[in-house]
């Protein structure tokens, strides 16, 4: 049904209801694709800049996007140096966007550490924390 509708859309501009229905078709296709590929999904953490406000809740959605395993980089050494106040070597692994809520105390600590680093360091820190936890749980292999 969705392929037929996609073809129709190319021939004829969809009206608003068709666009509405198509938006669900698209989502279904993504879900189907997810199931067919049977890949793991990794969420990137979106840490909002809290420097300008005191709201420590960090909002997140559950968008799921695929990431090639080759893109995942071990940031452990980098973050250890950063937390210790040493000069860290910059790495730029590929990430995906998502969002979630953090406990205020954790968000404050993350902010403090990230303030000593560069753009993207918050994400690296959160990724490393979750990676360590999931390795401990046996969900993913140790890197």
Partner 1 sequence: MTATIVTFGISKGGCSKSTSSGITSYLLSQEERVLAIDMDGQGNLTSFLTGEYDICNVFEEKTVLEAIIEGDARPYIIRIQENLDLIPSNDFLATLPRHMYSKGLKLNALQKTLEPVMKDYDWIIIDTPPSLSEQTILPLSTYSEGGSHVVIMFDGSMFAYYAIPKFIEMVEGAKERYNPNLNTAGILFSLIDSRAKENEVMLESIEEDHPNLKFDTIIKRKASTRRLPIAGFDGNPELKNALEYYIPFVKELKERVEQKQPQG
Task: State in angstroms the smallest separation of the CB of 41 from partner 1.
Answer: 14
Nearer to partner 1 among residue 18 and residue 65 (C-beta) = 18
With a CB cutoff of 8 Å and minimum separation 6, the contacts of 5 are 18, 21, 22, 25
Among 37, 62, 70, 141, binds partner 1 (CB under 8 A): 62
Task: Tell me the three state secondary structure of residue 16.
Answer: helix
Longest dimension (CA), the chain: 60
Tell whether residue 35 is a contact of partner 1 (CB under 8 A): no
Tell whether residue 1 is a contact of partner 1 (CB under 8 A): yes
Q: How many residues bind partner 1 (CB under 8 A)?
A: 13
Distance, CA of 133 to CA of 143 (rounded, Å): 12
Tell whether residue 18 is a contact of partner 1 (CB under 8 A): yes
């Amino acid at each position: 049904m969705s392929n037929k509708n996609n073809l129709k859309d190319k021939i004829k501009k969809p009206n608003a209801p068709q666009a509405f229905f198509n938006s669900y078709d698209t989502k279904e296709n993504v879900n189907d694709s997810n199931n067919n590929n049977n890949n793991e999904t990794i969420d990137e953490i979106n840490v909002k800049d809290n420097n300008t406000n005191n709201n420590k809740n960090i909002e997140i959605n559950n968008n799921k996007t695929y990431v090639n395993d080759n893109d995942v980089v071990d940031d452990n050494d980098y973050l250890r140096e950063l937390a210790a106040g040493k000069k860290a070597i910059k790495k730029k692994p590929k990430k995906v966007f998502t969002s979630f809520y953090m406990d205020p105390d954790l968000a404050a600590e993350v902010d403090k550490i990230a303030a000593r680093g560069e753009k993207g360091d918050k994400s690296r820190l959160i990724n490393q924390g979750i990676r360590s936890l999931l390795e401990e749980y046996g969900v993913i292999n140790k890197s």
